[in-house]
Amino acid sequence: MVGKTIQNEIVLQGIGVSSGIAVAEVQLIAAQTQVVVERKIGPEEIPVEITRFEDALMATHEQIRAIQKQVAEMLGDEHASIFDAHVLVVDDRTFVEDVIRGIKLDQINVESVLSSVASRYADMLAQMQDSYLSERAADIRDVTRRILANLAGESLNQMSQIDRECIVAAHDLAPSDTAGINRQLVKGCVSDLGSATSHTAIMARALEIPAVVGLHNVTSSVSQGDTILIDGSKGLVFINPTEERLTDYAKRAEEQQLIISELDAQRDKPSETLDGYYMPISANVELLEELDSVANRGAKGIGLFRTEFLFLQNNELPDEEAQTEAYMAAAKSQYPAPVVIRTLDLGADKLPADFEVVAEANPFLGSRAIRLCLAHPKLFRTQLRAILRASVNDNIRVMYPMISCVLEVVEANALLEECKQELREQKIDFNENIEVGSMIEVPSAALIADLIAPHVTFFSLGTNDLIQYTMAVDRGNENVAHLYKPTHMAIVRLIDHVVKVSHKHGLWTSVCGQMAANPILVPLLIGLGVDELSLSPTQVPLIKDVIRHLHYADAVELAKNALSAQSAEHVAKSCRELIERIAPEALELFGQ
Question: Which CATH number fits the domain that encloses residue 223?
Answer: 3.50.30.10
Q: What is the mean pLDDT of the chain?
A: 86
Three-state SS for 231?
strand
Buried b / exposed e across 304-325, counting CB within 10 Å, b at 16+? bbbbbbbbbeeeebbeeebbbe
Choice among 86, 199, 488, 549 that is catalytic? 199
Co-location of 71 and 216 in the same domain: no
Do 376 and 486 fall into the same domain?
Answer: yes
Alpha-carbon distance of 61 to 90, in angstroms, equals 6
Cβ–Cβ contacts within 10 Å for residue 253, how many? 15
234, 257, 280: which is the final residue of a domain?
257
- How high is the pLDDT of residue 381? 97
Dihedral (CA of 201, 207, 211, 216) sign: negative
- Widest pairwise Cα distance in the chain: 83
Give the C-alpha separation, 262 to 280, whole Å. 21
* 111 and 247 assigned to the same domain: no
- Mean pLDDT to the nearest integer, 104-133: 78
User: What are the tens digits of pLDDT across the range 349-363?
Assistant: 566 555 666 666 666
Which CATH number is 62's domain given? 1.10.274.10
- Within a domain: residue 16? yes
- Same domain, residue pair 331 and 423: yes
Query: For residue 534, what pLDDT band results from cuts at 50, 70 and 90?
Result: very high
Task: Tell if the pTM clears 0.75, that is, is over it.
Answer: no
Told to judge if 570 belongs to the known catalytic residues of this protein, a careful annotator would answer no
Same domain, 293 and 238: no
Whether residues 251 and 273 fall in one domain: no
Instruction: Name the amino acid, one letter, at 260.
Output: I
Catalytic residue chosen out of the listed positions 419, 512, 549, 575: 512
How many Å apart are CA 591 and CA 572, to the nearest integer? 14
Residue 186 φ then ψ, to 5°? -85, 110
pLDDT digits (tens, 9 = 90+) for 203-217: 677 677 889 988 988
- Please indicate, yes or no, if residue 117 is contained in any of the structural domains: yes
Residue 419 falls in the annotated catalytic set = no
HSE-up (13 A, CA, CB side) for residue 396: 26
Greatest mean pLDDT range, 144-153, 295-304, 381-390: 381-390
- pLDDT at residue 33 greater than cutoff 60: no
Nearest of 559, 566, 569, 587 to residue 482 by alpha carbon = 569
Q: Does one domain contain both 435 and 490? A: yes
Query: What range does the domain containing 197 cover?
Result: 4-28+164-175+185-257
CB-side exposure of 76: number of CA atoms within 13 Å?
A: 19
Residue of 158, 163, 190 lying closest to 176 (CA atoms): 158
Report the pLDDT value the prediction gives residue 148, as an integer from 0 to 100: 86
| Residue 273's pLDDT band (cuts 50, 70, 90) | very high
| Residue 247 shares a structural domain with residue 312 | no
Residue 246 in this model has a pLDDT that exceeds 80: yes
pLDDT band at 183, cuts 50/70/90?
confident
| Contact call for residues 525 and 515 (beta carbons, < 8 A) | yes
Domain count across the chain: 3
Q: Helix, strand, or coil here: 299?
A: coil
Residues 334 and 239 in one domain: no
What pLDDT does 76 receive? Answer: 63
The CATH number given to whatever domain includes residue 523 is 3.20.20.60
**pLDDT at position 6:** 44
Residue that is last in its domain, among 257, 287, 306: 257
Residue 37 lies in a domain: no
pLDDT surpasses 90 at 409? yes
* Phi-psi domain of 531 (left: phi exceeds 0; alpha: psi -120 through 50; beta: other): alpha
Q: Are residues 229 and 296 in the same domain?
A: no
- Radius of gyration, alpha carbons of the chain: 25
| Nearest Cα to Cα of residue 455 among 427, 415, 500, 510 | 415
Decide which of 235, 257, 279 is a domain's last residue: 257
Taking only the tens place, the pLDDT of each residue in 465-514 is: 999 999 998 765 667 777 889 999 999 999 999 999 999 999 999 999 88
- My answer on whether 248 and 286 are in the same domain is no
**Alpha helices per DSSP H over 391-488:** 406-425, 443-447, 449-452, 463-471
Residue 421 has pLDDT above 60, yes or no: yes
Integer Cα distance of 548 and 276 in angstroms: 9
Q: Are residues 549 and 474 in the same domain?
A: yes
Distance CA(565)–CA(301), nearest Å, equals 35
Indicate whether 34 belongs to any domain.
Answer: no
- Confirm whether 159 is domain-assigned: no
Q: Is residue 279 part of a domain?
A: yes
530 in Cβ contact with 511 (< 8 Å): yes
DSSP 278: B
pLDDT band at 1 (very low <50, low <70, confident <90, very high): very low
State the pLDDT confidence band at 539, using cuts at 50, 70 and 90: confident
Q: Is the pLDDT of residue 5 over 50?
A: no
More confident residue, 437 or 258: 437
Q: How many CB atoms lie within 10 A of CB 35?
A: 6
Instruction: For residue 471, tell me if it sits in a domain.
Output: yes
312 or 302, higher pLDDT: 302
Q: Which residues pair with 238 in a beta bridge?
A: 11, 229
- Residue 32: left (phi > 0), alpha (psi -120 to 50), or beta? beta
Phi, psi of 254 (to 5 degrees): -65, -40
- The confidence score (pLDDT) of residue 528 equals 98
Decide if 560 contacts 509 (C-beta within 8 A). Answer: no
In this prediction, residue 131 carries a pLDDT of: 47
Between 488 and 69, where is the model more confident? Answer: 488
In which band, very low, low, confident or very high, does the pLDDT at 545 lie, cut at 50, 70 and 90?
Answer: very high
Q: For residue 11, name the pLDDT band (cuts at 50, 70, 90).
A: very high
Does any domain span residue 157?
no
